[in-house]
Structure 1
Amino acid sequence: MRVVLAGNYNEKRAGTNFYATVRKLTNGFVRNGHLVMPFSDRDVAREQGRFGIGRAGEGEVNRRLLELCENFRPDLLMLFHADKIGNDAVRQARAMLPALRVAVVSLDALFLPANVRRIHRLAEVADTTFLTTAGDHLRQFVTPTHRVAFIPNPADRSIETLECFARDDQPFDFLCTIGTERTTPWRGQIMREIAARVPEARYAFYGLAERPYIYGSAYFEAIASARMGLNLNRAEDHYLYSSDRFAQYAGNGLLVFVSRATGYDEIFSDDEFVFYSDLDELAERLRYFLKNDGERQRVARNGHTRYHALFSEVLVARFIEDAVFDRAPSGDYAWPTEIHGR
């Protein structure tokens, strides 16, 4: 199968987003035996801007995508946060290639109004949209021609290569990384409250006013410097929603603390991740693992193994293919596989 994967490969940052999910899914489709042609919509638009085209670069992006489709003749067009691609261009691609299937992947949460608007817009031209939120929230996007399904954030062994569980010499005990506390001040408050309740732990908290967010290799160095990590999302009340931080922490072998409100305790066990219901339980479990590092290593190893086994880039890419092409599941997927609208 031939796949055009249009998304933000972010060449502007010269490799700092090497762990981005768009790259993992590219790997997943290739490892499943498919030919993938990456198309970085924002980089194409930026290139046109350098030549003085300015906003007209967005029109050039869509023209270039259609040229790629004409030359490459893909079976599947995937739009992965490809915000520069307009619906008219997708319609023209479908007219050019009547058998073309179109899929959308969105990692953003459904409590973000801009993301909801984006999904509704693309539902006009896509066959299936894949979201990192599960449950009844997905039904709002179903139309007679558009279906919706859940996918987990994938881990990729060629990207998440650390094995934090195998070490006991890390300088920090507890890691938490967020973009910024300005948009979700309650997350900063939680981090400060944990530090106050368990002062004996050594913290590596990023995204706070006094400690800015990190990315690229510095981000992976921060993961490598810690034993445990807190997967603290912008909201914890959407079923199975998580940022890709979960995949990065678990995939690299941290002992990951996860709110029970996410529902991930229905897929994984307490022998693989540390599930907590409130700050009291979080603090209690943190104290326990500070005193029992062998247990920290054992549970983190289990979580690392299971996350890679259940949520690999190969399995997520295969599920997308199954769903888009109306095939029976080709594997025993661990996550909810209901395709809303089928």
Structure 2
Amino acid sequence: MRIVIVGNYNEKRAGANFYATVRKLTNGFIRNGHHVMTLSDRDVAREVHKWGIWRGGDAAANARLVELCRSFRPDLLVFFHADKITNDTVREIRAAQPSLRVAVVSIDALFLPENVERIHRFAEIADATFITTAGHHLDQFVTPTHKVAFIPNPTDPSIETLQCFAEGDLPYDFLCTISTERSTPWRGQMMRDIQQRVPEARYAYYGLEGQRSLQGQDYFNAIASAKMGLNLNRSDDHYLYSSDRFAQYAGNGLLVFVARSTGYDEIFTDEEFVFYRDLDELADKLRYFLKNDGERQRIARNGHERYHAFFSERLVARFIEEVVTDRPLSADYAWPTDIHGSLSTK
């Protein structure tokens, strides 16, 4: 299959987002045997705009996609937060290639209004949208010509290469990374409360006021320096929603603490991750693993192996391909595979 993936490959950061989900899924499609071409819509628009062609950047990104599809003739077009691409551009491409299938991948949270608006916009021209939230929240995006499904945040063995579970002597016990606490001050407060309740642990906190957030290899170096990590989302009340931090922590072998309210305890067990209901339980379990490092290593190893086995980049890419092309599922996927809505020809 010929596939074009349009997304934010973020070339302006010169590789700092090497662990981005769009890169993992690109790898997944390629490793599944497909011929993949990529287009970084924001980077194309930025380069044109940089030369003083005001408002010309977005038009250039759309024209580039039309040209790419005319030359390459993809069977599948995948949009990954491709905000520069207009629906009219997709309609033009589909008019020239009636058999083309279009998929959208959204890894942002559904409690962000701008993401909900983005999904609704692309639903007008896509065959299927894949969202890293599951359950009834997906029903709002169903249309007579558009279906919706859940996908987990994938891990990639060529990207998540660390094995923190194999290390007994590391500088830090407990890692938590957030981009900032300004928008969700409760996360910063929770991080401080944990530190106050379990002062004997050595903490690596990033994103709090006065403590920089991390990207690129600095981020992976921080993971490599810790034994355990807290997957602290901006909200834990959307079924199976998680930031891609979960894949990065688990894929690199940290012992990951996960709120039970996320629902991930329905897929994984206490033999793979540390599930907690509230701050008291989290603090108790942190104290336990500080005193039982062998157990920390054993469970973290299990979690690392299961996450890579259940949520690999190849499996997630294959699921997307099967759903958008209306093929029977070829595997008993570990995550909920409910398809919200039905598909008809656009």
Give TM-score, length-normalised by structure 2: 0.98
**Is the counterpart of residue 112 in structure 1 residue 112 in structure 2?**
yes
Match of 1:50 in 2: 50
Q: Which whole-Å deviations, capped at 9, do the CAs of 1:259-313 have from their partners, x for residues lacking one? A: 0000000000000000000000000000000000000000000000000000000
Name the CA distance, whole Å, in 2 between partners of 1:294 and 1:152: 29
**Is the counterpart of residue 242 in structure 1 residue 242 in structure 2?**
yes
Instruction: Give 1:81 shift.
Output: 0.6
Q: Which whole-Å deviations, capped at 9, do the CAs of 1:148-190 have from their partners, x for residues lacking one? A: 0000000000000000000011100000000100000000000
One-letter amino acid of the structure 1 residue matched with residue 148 of structure 2: V
Name the CA distance, whole Å, in 2 between partners of 1:72 and 1:21: 24
Name the CA distance, whole Å, in 2 between partners of 1:219 and 1:37: 28
Match of 1:308 in 2: 308
Report the aligned-residue RMSD: 0.5
1:105 alignment partner, SS class:
strand
**Is the counterpart of residue 193 in structure 1 residue 190 in structure 2?**
no
Name the CA distance, whole Å, in 2 between partners of 1:57 and 1:95: 24
Name the CA distance, whole Å, in 1 between partners of 2:116 and 2:10: 23
Match of 1:329 in 2: 329
**Is the counterpart of residue 69 in structure 1 residue 69 in structure 2?**
yes
**Is the counterpart of residue 127 in structure 1 residue 127 in structure 2?**
yes
Match of 1:96 in 2: 96
Q: Which whole-Å deviations, capped at 9, do the CAs of 1:55-109 have from their partners, x for residues lacking one? A: 2110111011000000000000000011000000010010011100000000000
Name the CA distance, whole Å, in 2 between partners of 1:142 and 1:6: 22
Name the CA distance, whole Å, in 1 between partners of 2:253 and 2:263: 21
Match of 1:339 in 2: 339
One-letter amino acid of the structure 2 residue matched with residue 236 of structure 1: D
Match of 2:292 in 1: 292
Match of 1:155 in 2: 155
Match of 1:317 in 2: 317
Instruction: Give 1:53 shift.
Output: 1.1
Name the CA distance, whole Å, in 2 between partners of 1:51 and 1:228: 46
Unaligned runs of 5+ in 2: none
Match of 1:165 in 2: 165
One-letter amino acid of the structure 2 residue matched with residue 125 of structure 1: I
**Is the counterpart of residue 26 in structure 1 residue 20 in structure 2?**
no
1:78 alignment partner, SS class:
strand
Q: Which whole-Å deviations, capped at 9, do the CAs of 1:186-205 have from their partners, x for residues lacking one? A: 00000000000000000001
Q: Which whole-Å deviations, capped at 9, do the CAs of 1:215-263 have from their partners, x for residues lacking one? A: 1000000000000000000000000000000000000000000000000
Instruction: Give 1:50 shift.
Output: 2.1
Name the CA distance, whole Å, in 1 between partners of 2:88 and 2:40: 18
Name the CA distance, whole Å, in 1 between partners of 2:115 and 2:210: 29
Match of 1:39 in 2: 39
Match of 1:82 in 2: 82
Instruction: Give 1:54 shift.
Output: 2.5
How many pairs are equivalent?
A: 342
Name the CA distance, whole Å, in 2 between partners of 1:301 and 1:132: 24
- Identity, in percent, stands at 75
Give TM-score, length-normalised by structure 1: 1.00
Match of 1:230 in 2: 230
1:149 alignment partner, SS class:
strand
One-letter amino acid of the structure 1 residue matched with residue 249 of structure 2: Y
Runs of 4 or more, structure 1, over 4 Å off, are none
One-letter amino acid of the structure 2 residue matched with residue 179 of structure 1: S
**Is the counterpart of residue 177 in structure 1 residue 177 in structure 2?**
yes
Question: 53-62 or 215-224, which moves further after superposition?
Answer: 53-62
Name the CA distance, whole Å, in 1 between partners of 2:175 and 2:257: 10
Name the CA distance, whole Å, in 1 between partners of 2:82 and 2:326: 24
Name the CA distance, whole Å, in 2 between partners of 1:116 and 1:46: 25
Instruction: Give 1:210 shift.
Output: 1.7
Instruction: Give 1:332 shift.
Output: 1.1
